[in-house]
Structure 1
Amino acid sequence: MRWDGVHIAATGVWLPGRLSAEEAVAAGAYDADEHAANRIVSVAAAETEADGGPSAPEMAVRAARTALRRAGAAAERVSAVFHSHVWFQGADMWTPASYVADRTAGSGVPAFGLQQSCNAGVSSLELGARHLEVGGAVLLTTADRFSGPSFDRWRCERGLVYGDAGTALVLSSVGGFARLLSTSTAVDNSLEAISRPASPVADPSEARRPLDLSALADDYVRANGDPRRLTLRTAQVADASVRQALADADTRMEDVSRVVLNATGRSRMRWQLELQLGLNEKMSNWEFCSEAGHLGAGDHFAGLDDLVRSGQVLPGDRVLLVGGGTGYSCTSAVVEITESAHRPE
């Protein structure tokens, strides 16, 4: 979908300290072969609440306050909050989106929680842009803390390591440092079983813990045949999303200055970049990914923030965001930088 008059007023990120991947290997927490293939240097890891660390929704609040401070006048016009997450937010049958909204945009601003897995951050751009058809501004947030014993950040999924973060982005109809030119979402709902046990349990206490997404994917492949066919099907969804987003933005792939993908390990990211998109590694934000890890739904807001705040993209540059999450869904977005945001706080 093509967008006119939709701007990115600001981004904000809250990242905790880092855990060394080499030290995790030495301690037996991280597989040495995975480390060699992924080339992950470190991963963002928050202290537990018992040790004084913030909850996942509180990380979103911290990131949102940064984004709202940077957004200027747009911060006063927020008419909705969309909060995305992948993992547990701290309580059952609770609405973390309302918590985030109350502590940032205000107690009277409608808040919505999104469940699009690791694609949720980018897909919230599309939902937020639709909301902006009535004007004003929208606050988009993500947050996750991938802590044990129910979640093992180092071993949950082959090809990546999960990191903790809160991220935020303010969409506005009254200007900003970038324009949202287009978004496009493609899905294949028949692939939802990749992350679902063959025999779902009736009670959460019976669920397999720690969560092992690689084992679930292996089970799916054994039940459904050739793994190459599965790879092709997910690649087709991503390809359809990317092609439509570029077409709607009147942008060729060679016009793209940088690309932000889900933050995977190096071998998986290079496969996506080179084989799927025909781009080389220097077009990505690999250095940031290798130090922070996969931030659940927050990779794209954090990745864009890093590119902009560090001056790696300048006015006139176009950035392609490509999401992807179990379900299976993929949302792509084309963003054009219009003003420099490379400045001290």
Structure 2
Amino acid sequence: MRWGQVHIAATGVWLPGRRSAEEAVRSGRYDAEEHAANRIVSVAAADTEPDGGPSAPEMAVRAARVALERAGEAARRVSTVYHSHLWFQGAELWAPASYVAEHTVGSDVPAFGLQQSCNAGVASIELAAGRLGTADAALLTTADRFTGPSFDRWRCERGLVYGDGGTALVLSATGGLARLLSTATRVDNSLEPVSRAARLADDPRAVETPLDLAAGADAYTRAHGNMRQIAQRMAEVADASVRDALTDADTTMSGIDRVVLVSTGRSRMRWQLELQLGVPEKISNWELSGTVGHLGAGDHFAGLDHLVESRQVQAGDRVLLVGGGTGYSCSSAVLEITGSAPAPQGD
């Protein structure tokens, strides 16, 4: 999809303190071989904060307030909120998106929850852009808190470690720090059982052991083929998404200056960068990923925020965001940096 007057007005991130990966290995919580392959230094963990730290929606609100302050005048024109997450948001049968909207942009702004796993952040850009009016803005947020006993951040999935945090992005029709050139989404719904396995239950409390995506994937491969074949099918979906986004942006990979991927461990990320995309690690979001972990749907907003705030991009640079989430779906977006976010305006 080609986009005309759609812009990233601002980004915002709120991350808690860090837990050391080496300490997790020493205490037996993290597998030493996984640590050696992943090269994760630390992960963002909400329970490092005073009083146990904020809930996931509270982290989204904190990130959103940063983004809205940076967005200046665009913050006054927010007409829609999209909130994305993977894990428990603090209460059952509840609408966390409405909580985020109420505590950021007000009671009368429609708010929608989006659950497309780790792909939801990039997917929300495409969805919100399609709804954006000629003078509108949209607030996109993500947040998760991956804590026990139902979730083991260190062992849930091979190849990455889960981190806590909130992220936000303000999409605007009237300018900002980057212009949205294109988006593209491709899916293969036949791959949804890879993460589901046999964990269906009538009551969430009936699942007594922590979520184990690695075991689920192993069970699926025993029944349906080897993991290499499954990974190849996922790679084909991602390849198609990236190819479509680049074509619609009238560019190629050689025209991309920075790439932001799902924050996996180093070995998996290098495979995606070097073998799949054909670009070096140095233009990726690994610098941030290795210190905060996988932020669920928030890796891309956090990665873009880090590039802008650390001045690693400048006007004219093109940034490729590549999502990917269980289901299986992949959304890609091409942005062109146009300058700094507008300065906050006084009341």
Q: TM-score, normalised by structure 1?
A: 0.97
Q: Write the letter of the residue equivalent to 2:29.
A: A
CA shift, 1:341, in A, is 5.2
Show structure 2 runs of 5+ residues with no match.
none
Show the counterpart of 2:61.
61
Measure the CA separation in 1 of the matches of 2:122 and 2:176.
18
Q: Write the letter of the residue equivalent to 1:303.
A: G
Query: Which residues of 2 match residues 203-222 of structure 1 at below 5 A?
Result: 203-222=203-222
Measure the CA separation in 1 of the matches of 2:208 and 2:49.
24
SS in 1 for 2:171: strand
Show the counterpart of 2:29.
29
Show the counterpart of 2:179.
179
Measure the CA separation in 1 of the matches of 2:130 and 2:102.
22
Show the counterpart of 1:326.
326
Show the counterpart of 1:168.
168
Residues 48 and 110 (structure 1 numbering): CA distance in 2 closer, same or farther, change over 3 Å? farther
Measure the CA separation in 1 of the matches of 2:315 and 2:92.
44
SS in 1 for 2:192: helix
Q: Contact 1:309/1:341 (CA < 8 Å) preserved in 2? A: no
CA-to-aligned-CA distance 1:143-169 (integer Å, 9 cap, x gap): 000011110000000000000010000
Q: Contact 1:309/1:342 (CA < 8 Å) preserved in 2? A: no
Show the counterpart of 2:284.
284
Show the counterpart of 1:241.
241
Q: Contact 2:128/2:138 (CA < 8 Å) preserved in 1? A: yes
Measure the CA separation in 1 of the matches of 2:268 and 2:135.
39
Show the counterpart of 1:256.
256
Query: Which residues of 2 match residues 60-209 of structure 1 at below 5 A?
Result: 60-198=60-198, 200-209=200-209
SS in 1 for 2:155: coil
RMSD of the alignment, in Å?
1.6
Show structure 1 runs of 5+ residues with no match.
none
Measure the CA separation in 2 of the matches of 1:249 and 1:230.
29
CA-to-aligned-CA distance 1:190-217 (integer Å, 9 cap, x gap): 0000111336222212225200000000
Q: Write the letter of the residue equivalent to 2:210.
A: P
**Percent of paired sites with the same residue:** 73
Measure the CA separation in 2 of the matches of 1:199 and 1:78.
39
Measure the CA separation in 1 of the matches of 2:47 and 2:41.
19
SS in 1 for 2:179: strand
Q: Contact 2:2/2:183 (CA < 8 Å) preserved in 1? A: yes
- Over 3 Å off, 4+ runs: 340-343
Q: Contact 2:141/2:167 (CA < 8 Å) preserved in 1? A: yes
SS in 2 for 1:319: strand
CA shift, 1:135, in A, is 3.4
Q: Write the letter of the residue equivalent to 1:334.
A: V
Q: Contact 2:44/2:163 (CA < 8 Å) preserved in 1? A: yes
CA shift, 1:229, in A, is 1.2
Measure the CA separation in 2 of the matches of 1:206 and 1:127.
34
Q: Write the letter of the residue equivalent to 2:83.
A: H
Q: Contact 1:60/1:141 (CA < 8 Å) preserved in 2? A: yes
